[in-house]
Amino acid sequence: MSKITHHIPEEMLRAYAAGTLPQPFAVVIAAHVSLCDACRAAVETEAALGGALLSSMAPAAVSSGAKDRLFAALDSAPPPPPQQRGSGIFPAPVMEALKGQPPRWKMLGGGIRQQILSADAEGSLRLLYIPRGRAVPEHTHGGLELTLVLQGSFSDCEGRFGAGDVEVASDDVDHQPMAGDEGPCICLAATDAPLRFRAMIPRLLQPLFRI
């Protein structure tokens, strides 16, 4: 993997460590953290600081009935599912979102493919496959978009993003990411609002492709 030069902003790492991010963004950050020593160290530091803060707080009184209900709930909870492992270019958090299966690509046009991994009120999470030298339609954003490169690279007005890099694009970014010449670019992307395409045809197809 090439050197990672585009990282997760500090405030997002803090929110991730606190468990307050929407699930689509949390998966992208978890995948990046699994690849990036610097961001993993930052998350571990945030978690340690949070633990130290909790330990310094005065304990709250809890009734015996509340304790009994908590322990009963823990006893009756089903065991957690076995933890997924990474496979090929897909880190463990991505394989978990894929439920351990290879991607099931759906064509978007021009050789570009996607698989929607989740989509709900919190946002959407998808895998994108962009053939080398191919660009996705120009667009802006109705909210936030996090894009992690898993294979290859893409370039846009914000720079070049290689494997392990994350682009953080807000509603003031107008771009047209283009895959590099070294091969197909495979990305994991999370959004909390639909994209805003410039061209008419992508706008007409947007409800069908759920982008």
pLDDT-derived band at 70, boundaries 50, 70, 90: low
Distance CA 211, CA 142 (A): 11
Report pLDDT digits (tens) over 144-183.
999 999 999 999 999 999 999 999 998 888 989 999 999 9
pTM over 0.85: no
Cα–Cα distances (Å) from 128 to 11, 17, 96, 192, in that order, read 26, 26, 17, 16
Least confident segment among 19-28, 41-50, 137-146: 41-50
The mean predicted confidence, pLDDT, of the chain is 86
Residue ranges of domains in the chain, CATH in brackets: 1-82+90-211 (2.60.120.10)
| Cβ proximity of 148 and 166 under 8 Å | yes
pLDDT of residue 84: 72
d(CA 114, CA 103): 9
Confidence at residue 196, expressed as pLDDT on a 0 to 100 scale: 76
